[in-house]
C-alpha cells in the first residue's frame, strides 16, 4: 500500500517536467517549417510551370475531329523558342484581328511556300497534301503566298473554321506555343499527334 501511493503521485509530476514541455514548441516549429517549405515549393512550381506552358480551353468546333469543344489543352510555350513551326503542328496563337482572343489551328503553309485550295484539295507548291485529319474537304477556293515571318493556318474542320483562308497570314510573333496534350476531361487524355509532312503522292 505504501509503495503504490508515491507512484500515483509521481505520474502527474512527470507530465509537468520541464523536459516534456519543451518538446511541444519544437514540434510546432517543425510543422510550421514543413508547411512553409511546401508552400514555397508550390509557388516555385506554379510559376515554373507557367513560364514554360499554358493551359487553354477549346471553344468551338473548328478543330474537330482532332480536338473537341470543351477539352483542355496543355501548350508548350518553349517549343518555338528553340525551334520553328513545322507543317502539321497544332498551334495556339493570338488572333491578329483581335489581340484579346486566342485561337488554335494547324500549320499548313510555311514561309516561302505557295498555298492553293481548289476542288477540295490543298496543295503546297503545286503538290497535294494528304490530310487524314480533316472533317471534310474544303468547299472554298483560293491561293496565297506565305511571306517571311508568316504562317498559313487552317482548322481541321475546314468549312467551320475562322482561319487563314478568311483573315490571311499569321505572324510568327503571334504564336503562343505548340499544343502537346489533352488533359481534360480524363477520358480524353492523350498526347496530341502532330501529323508529319505528307504529300498525296507518297
Q: What CATH number did the domain enclosing 136 receive?
A: 2.10.109.10
Domain that holds residue 35: 4-51
Give all strands of the β-sheet with 127-128 in edge-to-edge order: 127-128, 121-124, 114-118, 142-145
Is residue 161 located within the same domain as residue 115? yes
* pLDDT of res. 52: 52
Is residue 46 located within the same domain as residue 89? no
Which cell is 116 given? 492553293
What's the pLDDT tens digit per position in 30-53? 777 666 666 665 555 444 455 555
Q: How far does the chain reach from its first CA to its final CA, in angstroms?
A: 102
Q: Does any domain span residue 201? A: no
Is residue 99 located within the same domain as residue 38? no
* pLDDT of res. 8: 44
What's the pLDDT tens digit per position in 80-122? 988 899 999 999 999 999 999 999 999 999 999 999 999 999 9
pLDDT at 199 over 90: no
* pLDDT of res. 146: 98
Q: Residue 28 CA to chain centroid, in angstroms?
A: 40
Q: Does any domain span residue 197? A: no
Dist CA 39 CA 201 (whole Å): 56
Mean of the per-residue pLDDT values of the chain: 82
Is residue 102 located within the same domain as residue 38? no
Contact (CB, 8 A) for 116 and 154: no
Is residue 95 located within the same domain as residue 37? no
Question: How many domains is the chain built from?
Answer: 2
Least confident of 12-16, 32-36, 169-173: 12-16
Is residue 87 located within the same domain as residue 25? no
> Would you name the residues annotated as active-site residues?
62, 105
Amino acid at each position: 500500500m505504501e509503495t503504490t501511493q508515491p507512484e500515483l503521485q509521481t505520474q502527474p509530476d512527470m507530465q509537468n517536467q520541464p523536459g516534456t514541455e519543451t518538446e511541444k514548441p519544437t514540434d510546432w516549429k517543425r510543422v510550421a517549417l514543413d508547411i512553409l517549405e511546401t508552400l514555397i515549393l508550390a509557388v516555385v512550381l506554379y510559376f515554373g510551370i507557367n513560364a514554360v506552358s499554358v493551359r487553354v480551353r477549346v471553344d468551338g468546333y473548328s478543330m474537330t475531329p482532332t480536338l473537341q469543344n470543351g477539352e483542355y489543352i496543355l501548350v508548350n510555350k518553349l517549343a518555338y523558342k528553340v525551334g520553328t513551326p513545322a507543317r502539321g503542328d497544332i498551334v495556339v496563337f493570338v488572333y491578329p484581328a483581335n489581340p484579346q482572343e486566342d485561337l488554335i489551328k494547324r500549320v499548313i503553309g510555311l514561309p516561302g511556300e505557295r498555298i492553293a485550295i481548289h476542288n477540295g484539295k490543298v496543295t503546297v507548291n503545286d503538290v497535294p497534301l494528304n490530310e487524314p485529319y480533316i472533317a471534310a474537304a474544303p468547299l472554298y477556293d483560293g491561293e496565297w503566298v506565305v511571306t517571311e515571318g508568316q504562317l498559313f493556318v487552317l482548322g481541321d474542320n475546314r468549312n467551320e473554321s475562322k482561319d487563314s483562308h478568311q483573315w490571311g497570314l499569321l505572324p510568327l510573333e503571334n504564336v503562343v506555343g505548340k499544343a502537346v496534350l489533352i488533359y481534360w476531361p480524363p477520358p480524353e487524355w492523350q498526347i496530341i499527334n502532330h501529323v508529319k509532312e505528307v504529300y498525296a503522292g507518297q
